[in-house]
């Protein structure tokens, strides 16, 4: 059974660790994430962007696949299926499709419109026992073709959005999606501290979790971050392992071209990356 992120992140916030949000892209990715979480007894949030949802055949396909895998793999740890950077329409579609959580990214709307849409989605999600994440200040980098600058959210605006009853809040603190540029200034802990002071116990989300130095991750967790989103690092690990397999000519040996063989090293690499992240985020054993 899929669960909302609410209890997972509340516990993480109180016990000073973060739950891993791992973006999934296909069947192998999903199995890798579920298997790793189960092995490490860690709660997990499976993130699905609108682009990834479309790629996998639609949100209903994704929800049914995740629920069926959870059952067939005998998964016992808490699993949330969460729409990542959802539009208003996308959020409604995921609510219908059987997701357990959505993120409404209304950062491109004027604030009043963002607030109105968010209020409606908060009510709908909570009526269905789902959780909802909102974003304040756009998070830079490229996400499904949308490029933004690393921004810092306004703490007052965070407070206003938090008070609408969202379960988790993503606030820009200089983080960006994708690879961090050489000249990246790092996370703004000043901003994070100011946000935390305004929103109190509200669990915060750190997007763009790939490639952030370990000490910054730990400090962010100590300042209220309870969910960290990771996508790019799994993609890079998958691509590198797959390239190594092909460059070694393994696809041309025996039945090495069989997708079940060809995709295996990449899948193992995703698992290793998720394990590394879970160790760093401190969430191993937290599902017990
Ligand atoms: P990365 O791709 O930088 O890990 O970011 C993932 C993310 O924040 C998804 O919302």
Distance from Cα 65 to the centre of ligand 1, integer Å: 22
Residue 95 belongs to a domain: yes
Measured CA to CA, the distance from residue 104 to residue 92 in angstroms comes to 10
3-state SS, residue 17: coil
Question: Is 38 within a domain?
Answer: yes
Residue 147 confidence (pLDDT): 44
Pocket-testing residue among 104, 212, 230, ligand 1, by greatest number of atoms within 8 A of Cβ: 230
- Which residue segment(s) compose the domain that 112 sits in? 6-281
CA distance 73 to 38: 9
Closest CA to 233 of 186, 284, 271: 271
Is there a domain that residue 251 lies in?
yes
Q: Is the CB of 210 under 6 A from ligand 1?
A: yes
Residue 139 per-residue DSSP state: -
| Per-residue model confidence (pLDDT) at position 146 | 46
CATH number of 142's domain? 3.20.20.70
Give the distance, in angstroms, between the CA of residue 159 and the centroid of all CA atoms in the same chain.
22
The predicted pLDDT at position 139 comes to 67
The residue with tokens 């004027």 is 110
Looking at residue 194, its pLDDT comes to: 97
Task: Say yes or no: CB of residue 207 within 6 Å of ligand 1.
Answer: yes
Ligand 1 site-directed mutation target among 177, 206, 216, 273, most atoms within 8 Å of CB: 177
Task: Tell how far the Cα of 252 is from the centroid of ligand 1, in angstroms.
Answer: 34
Which residues are identified as catalytic? 84
Residue 144 confidence (pLDDT): 53
Q: Would residue 187 count as lying in a domain?
A: yes
Q: What is the DSSP letter of 241?
A: H
85 CA: nearest ligand 1 atom = 10
* Cα distance between residue 43 and residue 8, in whole Å: 7
Question: In a 3-state reduction of DSSP, which class is residue 15?
Answer: helix
Q: Which atom of ligand 1 is nearest to the CA of 176?
A: 3
**Could you state, in chain order, the average pLDDT of each consecutive group of 10 residues for the chain (288 residues)?**
97 98 98 98 98 98 98 98 96 98 89 92 98 83 53 91 96 91 89 96 96 97 98 98 98 98 98 98 96
Q: Please check whether residue 286 lies inside any domain of the structure.
A: no
Is there a domain that residue 288 lies in? no
What is the maximum alpha-carbon separation in the chain? 62
Is 144 among the domain residues? yes
Question: What's the CA-to-centroid distance between 141 and ligand 1, angstroms?
Answer: 9
Residue 149 in domain: yes
For residue 60, give the H/E element and its range.
helix 59-72
Cα 172 to ligand 1 centre (Å): 12
- Which backbone phi and psi does 27 adopt, to 5 degrees? -60, -45
- If you search the block for the tokens 């000249």, which residue do you land on? 183
Instruction: Determine the residue of 171, 173, 178 to mutate for testing ligand 1's pocket, defined as the one with the most ligand atoms within 8 A of the Cβ atom.
Output: 178
Query: What is the number of domains present in the chain?
Result: 1
């Amino acid at each position: 059974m899929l669960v909302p992120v609410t209890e997972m992140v509340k516990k993480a916030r109180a016990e000073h660790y973060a739950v891993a949000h791992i973006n999934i892209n296909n069947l192998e990715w999903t199995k890798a994430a579920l298997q790793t979480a189960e092995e490490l007894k860690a709660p997990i949030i499976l993130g699905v962007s609108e682009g990834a949802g479309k790629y996998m055949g639609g949100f209903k396909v994704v929800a049914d696949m995740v629920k069926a895998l959870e059952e067939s793999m005998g998964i016992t740890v808490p699993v949330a299926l969460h729409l990542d950077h959802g539009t208003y329409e996308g959020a409604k579609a995921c609510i219908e499709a059987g997701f357990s959580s959505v993120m409404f990214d209304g950062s491109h709307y004027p604030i009043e419109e963002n607030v109105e849409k968010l209020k409606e989605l908060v009510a709908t999600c909570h009526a269905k026992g789902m959780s909802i994440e909102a974003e304040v200040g756009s998070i830079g980098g490229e996400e499904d073709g949308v490029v933004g600058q690393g921004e810092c959210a306004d703490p007052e605006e965070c407070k206003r959005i938090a008070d609408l009853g969202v379960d988790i809040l993503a606030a820009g603190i200089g983080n960006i999606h994708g690879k961090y540029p050489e000249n990246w200034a790092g996370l703004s802990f000043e901003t994070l501290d100011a946000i935390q002071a305004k929103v109190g116990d509200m669990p915060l989300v750190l997007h763009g979790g790939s490639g952030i130095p370990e000490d910054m991750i730990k400090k962010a967790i100590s300042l209220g971050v309870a969910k960290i989103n990771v996508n790019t690092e799994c993609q890079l690990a998958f691509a590198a392992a797959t390239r190594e397999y092909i460059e070694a000519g393994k696809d041309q040996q025996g039945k090495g071209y069989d997708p079940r063989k060809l995709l295996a090293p990449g899948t193992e690499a995703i698992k290793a990356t998720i394990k590394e992240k879970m160790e760093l985020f401190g969430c191993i054993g937290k599902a017990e």
